[in-house]
Amino acid sequence: MIQKPPADACCCVHAFMRVFRDRNSCQRGPQVPISKKRGNFTVIFQDGIKGESMRVIKNINNNVSLCLTDSGVEVIAFGKGLGFKRPPYEIELSQIDRTFYDVDQMYIQMINEIPEQILDISIRVMDYARTLIDSPISSNVVFTLADHIHFAIERHRKHMEIKLPILYDVKSLMEKEVMIGYRALELIRRELKVRLPEEEAACIALHIANAEGAVKTDREENDEAIIGRVVEIIEDFFDISIDRSGFTYSRFAMHMRYLIRRGRSNTLLQGEDMALLETLSESLEEVEKCVQQIVEYLNRVLDCRLTPEEKMYLIIYTNRICMREEER
């Protein structure tokens, strides 16, 4: 039986060395349409989209719906009370606060998992980011950044602090992205009354830089093979089949990618909260045994020694993905 852990967290260190090396030569993702003011709110239009209404085809919650434009393009629409009616039905553009194009299905699932205030902060952070960064940024970043902020706040509230060995490198080499990170911290402090540590500005900067796009290299393809083997270890240990199309798996895979890159660049997470690791190991004994197999495998293929902090996060993420499979 998979148990719920007494503490939760989300990793905030990203692939600094790869991002910095590739940022000027990488292919970019789909461009996010520019925003235009409509009254006291902002609507994001895709170039060439015309018409005065959209058709709601699925409600995500009371204020978010999946819609079709007059041109047949699927969009995620935000607006107060949009989801109260049973679809399908027509809505005027004046009822819509925002629309997002080209959003992956896996990220649509997470909209109900993140508090509305945090999602709003992420949207405002990305609005600011687009005033500083010329490169196109995918709509998906709004949702992945919201997820990052959500767990950073939970980690902070549970006194789970981590050190970022490359903090000063990030600040000196990613000036614009760090400015975005500090804007995010200010919004979080002002709107949520939570004062996150300075390291989080650098973490958010890395998140933004990583989202600007990248070419898949042979090494990254090898990383995917490593992740695949880790998932097989989990499936074999618990005799389960993990859904690789859902957001929970995507979140786990993202954590693994960054862990692998940290292992290769010798920037593994360092912390001093051994008591929390001991608590997790005792309360999630079976998960800890599974993770120990994963740690031994990663130590071998990455030629490194994972820190207790990295093992702690592996326990948290492994337990989460197993819990989701039990619920299915």
Q: Residue 142 falls within a domain, yes or no?
A: yes
Residues 147, 22 share a domain: yes
Residues 205, 299 share a domain: no
Count structural domains, the chain: 3
Q: Residue 73 falls within a domain, yes or no?
A: yes
Greater confidence (105 vs 237) lies with 237
Given a cut of 90, whether residue 102 has pLDDT beyond it is no
What pLDDT was estimated at residue 11? Answer: 40
Residues 89, 60 share a domain: yes
Q: What is the signed CA dihedral for 138, 120, 269, 8, rounded to 10 degrees? A: -120
Residues 61, 24 share a domain: no
- How crowded is the C-beta side of 58, counted as CA atoms within 13 Å? 8
Residues 259, 136 share a domain: no
Residues 234, 284 share a domain: yes
Q: Residue 109 falls within a domain, yes or no?
A: no
Q: Residue 11 falls within a domain, yes or no?
A: no
Q: How far apart are the first and last CA of the chain?
A: 14
Taking residue 228's Cβ as centre, other Cβ atoms within 10 Å add up to 12
The CATH number that applies at residue 201 is 1.10.1790.10
Cα-based distances in Å from 76 to 56, 94, 120: 10, 15, 14
For the chain, give the percent of residues with pLDDT over 70. 76
What pLDDT was estimated at residue 60? Answer: 87
Q: Residue 1 falls within a domain, yes or no?
A: no
Tell me which residue range forms the domain holding 47.
35-101
Q: In whole angstroms, what is the distance from residue 165 CA to residue 8 CA?
A: 22
Q: pLDDT by residue (tens digit) across 37-61?
A: 333 333 343 333 445 678 999 988 8
Residues 127, 94 share a domain: no
Given a cut of 90, whether residue 162 has pLDDT beyond it is no
What pLDDT was estimated at residue 179? Answer: 94
Residues 322, 242 share a domain: yes
Q: Which of 101, 129, 147 is the last residue of a domain?
A: 101
Dihedral sign (CA 273, 207, 191, 320): negative
Q: pLDDT by residue (tens digit) across 282-328?
A: 899 999 999 999 999 999 999 999 999 899 999 999 999 998 766 66
Residues 239, 129 share a domain: no
Residues 134, 22 share a domain: yes
What pLDDT was estimated at residue 87? Answer: 86
Residues 235, 222 share a domain: yes
Structure tokens at 85: 């009616």
Q: pLDDT by residue (tens digit) across 214-265?
A: 434 566 678 889 999 999 999 999 999 998 887 788 889 888 988 998 888 8
Q: Residue 9 falls within a domain, yes or no?
A: no
Mean pLDDT of the chain: 78
Given a cut of 70, whether residue 119 has pLDDT beyond it is yes
What pLDDT was estimated at residue 31? Answer: 33
Q: Residue 2 falls within a domain, yes or no?
A: no
Q: Provide the greatest CA pair distance for the chain.
A: 59
Residues 193, 91 share a domain: no
